[in-house]
Amino acid sequence: MSSWNAPTVTRGPGASAAGGLDAPAGGGLDATVELPGSKSITNRALVLAALAEGPSTVRGTLRSRDTNLMLAALEALGTEIRVDPASETTVSVLPGPLRGAAVDCGLAGTVMRFLPPAAALATGRVLFDGDPHARERPQTTILDALRGLGVAVDGDRLPFTIDGTGSVPGGEVTIDASGSSQFVSGLLLSAARFDAGVVIRHDGPPVPSTPHIDMTVDMLATAGVVVDTSVPNVWTVAPGPIAAVDWTVEPDLSNAAAFLAAAAVTGGTVRVPYWPAVTTQPGARIADVLAAMGCAVEHLDGTLSVRGPEVLKAVDLDLRDIGELTPTIAALCALADGESVLSGIAHLRGHETDRLAALTTEITRLGGTCTETDDGLRIRGTAGASLRGGTWESYADHRMATAGAIIGLVTPGVIVADIETTSKTLPDFPGMWQRMLGRA
Ligand SMILES: O=C(O)C1=C[C@@H](OP(=O)(O)O)[C@@H](O)[C@H](O)C1
Ligand SMILES: C=C(OP(=O)(O)O)C(=O)O
C-alpha cells in the first residue's frame, strides 16, 4: 500500500481557455483525457456473453481489478475467454456449460451481485468470497431472492455457496432493492435462462441508481431479451435465449468525472473525447452537476469540455440516481462557495466503504466542514481557498482515492493513502493524472 503525494496545479485558465473553451493562453490546466471502458457496461457484456447462445466479442473492455475478476470468475465457471493478442481490450467470450468453481469477488459489487444468479445455472457447487470489506456489503437480498426462485443457497453474505443443478425454476419474487440497484440488475441479467423467467417486484424505500437498471434493460434488449417495465417497480422477463452480440463498450463516464472535476477546481479546461450522445451511464450527469456549480460545459463533436469558474457554486442535489458520483461531487463541494446539501444517498453506507462516514472524516481531517445527515452530506465549502495538507485515507475505495486527488490539486501537502486502490476500475490512475497535468 503506497502513499501518493497528490500533485498541485496553478489555478487559472489553461493554454486554450482564456476567451472561451477554444481560445489561447493561460498557465493552468489544459488537457484532453481519454478514458478506458465503462466498468458497468463491461461486466454486463461479459455476463450476457457467457450466458448467450454463441460466441460474443467485447471491444473496449475495461481491464481493471473489477473486470479482471469477472473474467476470471466466468473462466472458472466454464466459459472460454480469448483475449486478442493485439489488444487486451478485445475479448472473445465462448459460452460453455457452467460448472462448480470458486469465485473471488474482490470488492466488486457487479461480481458479487451479477454472478450468483448465473452460478445458479451451473452444475455443481459455486463458492463465493471476496475482500474483508466485501463480506460486509449488502448481499442477503439477492440470495433470498434466489432461494425464492428455487436455488439452493448456503449463507447470507460473503462467503456463501450456491449448489447449482444446471437449471433454475424461476418465477415471481418480491425484494427490497433499496440497498442496491445491483440486486435487480443481477437477477435480470440471468432471468431469461430461468425455466419460468422472472417477475421481480420491489417493495420498500426507493431503489437507488435506477439508470444502472436502465442500462441492464437496454443491454438485455440488445441481446434480444425484452424486459417488461410497464408497471413501476416491477420487472418481468420471459424465458428465452440470450443472443450473442458484438459489444462495444463506451468510455467510463463516472471515472471521467474525476478528471472533469480537476478542471472545475483549478479553473482550467479538461476535454473527454468519445463522450456518447446518448447513454444509460449515470456518469453522464456530471455535465449537469458541473454546469450547476458554475462550470462552462460544452458537448461538441463527441467531446465533452469543461472549464472551471473562478469559484464553484454550492449546490443542493438529490443524488439517488447517480450515487456513484458522490465522492467526486463532495470533493467539489468542499471547495465551493457556501453550503451544499447532497441527499438521497443513504445506500452509500453499503458501497466500497461507508462513503458518507469516510467523506465526512477525510474532509474534516483536512480542515473542511462536512457532516452526515440521515441520507447524505452537508458540506460547507472554502469558497475556493485551500484546505490544509495531510493524509487522505482511501478505505480501499477507488472513488475516495480520486476524491483526495481532486482536493489535492488545490491543497498543498495532501497525501492520498493506498492510491493503488484506484485500479478497481481505472488502471494507472496516477499515470493518467500526471499526464493530464503535463507531467508524465
Ligand atoms: O450496476 C452497476 O454497474 C452499478 C450500480 C450502482 O450500484 P448501487 O445501486 O449499489 O449504488 C453503482 O453505484 C455501481 O457503481 C455500479
Ligand atoms: C459503488 C461502486 O462499485 P460497485 O460496483 O463495487 O458497487 C462504485 O464503483 O462506485
Q: What would the pLDDT profile of 167-194 be if each residue is shown by its tens digit?
A: 999 999 999 999 999 999 999 999 999 9
Per-residue confidence (pLDDT) for residue 1, from 0 to 100: 76
Cross-strand partners of 339: 380
Cross-strand partners of 198: 171, 237
Pocket of ligand 2 (CB under 6 A): 108-110, 324, 351-352, 399, 425
- Secondary structure of 152-190 in the HEC alphabet? EEECCCCCEEEEEECCCCCEEEEECCCCCCHHHHHHHHH
Residue 139 counted as an annotated binding residue? no
Question: Distance (Å, rounded) from C-alpha 149 to C-alpha 126?
Answer: 17
Q: Residue 86's CB: how many other CB atoms inside 10 A? A: 6
Question: Distance (Å, rounded) from C-alpha 350 to C-alpha 337?
Answer: 30
Helices (H), 51-201: 65-76, 109-119, 140-148, 182-191
Nearest Cα residue to 314 out of 329, 330, 327, 333:
333
CA angle 90/94/95 to nearest 5° reads 135
Rounded to the nearest whole angstrom, what is the distance from the C-alpha of residue 20 to the centroid of ligand 2? 35
Rounded to the nearest whole angstrom, what is the distance from the C-alpha of residue 364 to the centroid of ligand 2? 24
Cβ contact 414:7 at 8 Å: no
Output the nine-digit C-alpha cell for 12.
487559472
Pairing of the two strands 99-104 and 123-129: parallel
Q: Which of the four pLDDT bands, split at 50, 70 and 90, describes residue 2?
A: confident
Active site residue 88: no
Cβ contact 239:170 at 8 Å: yes
Q: What is the pTM of this model?
A: 0.97
Q: Which residue's CA is the nearest one to ligand 1's atom 14?
A: 324
Residue 351 counted as an annotated binding residue? yes
Mutate to test the pocket of ligand 1, among 47, 207, 209, 321 (most ligand atoms within 8 A of CB): 209
Name the DSSP class of 230: -
Question: Distance (Å, rounded) from C-alpha 328 to C-alpha 355?
Answer: 11
> How confident is the model over 45-87, as pLDDT tens digits?
999 999 999 999 999 999 999 999 999 999 999 999 999 999 9
- Positive or negative: CA dihedral 22, 24, 29, 32: positive
Residue 181 counted as an annotated binding residue? yes
Output the nine-digit C-alpha cell for 47.
455476463
Identified catalytic residue from 324, 352, 362, 393: 324
- Residues of the chain above pLDDT 90, percent: 95
Question: Distance (Å, rounded) from C-alpha 27 to C-alpha 404?
Answer: 23
Q: Which residue's CA is the nearest one to ligand 1's atom 12?
A: 324
In sequence order, the 6+-apart residues with CB closer than 8 A to the CB of 197 are 170, 191, 236, 237, 238, 239, 240
Rounded to the nearest whole angstrom, what is the distance from the C-alpha of residue 424 to the centroid of ligand 1? 14
Cβ contact 219:265 at 8 Å: no
Average pLDDT estimate for 281-287: 98
Kindly identify the ligand whose nearest atom is closest to the C-alpha of 107: 2
Its ipTM equals 0.99
Kindly identify the ligand whose nearest atom is closest to the C-alpha of 207: 1
Mutate to test the pocket of ligand 2, among 216, 399, 421 (most ligand atoms within 8 A of CB): 399
Hey, what domains does the chain have and what are their CATH numbers? 4-35+252-436 (3.65.10.10), 39-245 (3.65.10.10)
